[in-house]
Amino acid sequence: MAPKIDVDSCVGCGTCAEVCPQGVWEIQDGKAVQVKPEECIECGACVDNCPVQCLSLEITE
């Protein structure tokens, strides 16, 4: 399951795209967009590094 994003809170800094090892995120029109959500490995790097905490991840088992 790919992380959920609060688009209204996203500032488009690009940190999620930089730290994601799978390339799930891109910045488009000033906001983070999941371009490959099926590639998410649920590592939490994007969630842990988001400076405005607009990302959340529900770990599936």
Domain that holds residue 20: 4-56
The total domain count for the chain is: 1
Each residue's pLDDT tens digit, 33-61: 999 999 999 999 999 999 999 999 876 55
Residue 15 near residue 56, CB atoms below 8 Å: no
20 lies in some domain: yes
- Say what percent of the chain tops pLDDT 90: 87
Closest to 50 (Cα-Cα) out of 1, 8, 2, 17: 17
User: CATH code at 42?
Assistant: 3.30.70.20
Q: Are 19 and 46 in contact (CB under 8 A)?
A: yes
- Structural domain contains residue 61: no
| Triad 10, 37, 43: Cα angle to 5° | 80
How confident is the model over 25-34, as a mean pLDDT?
A: 97
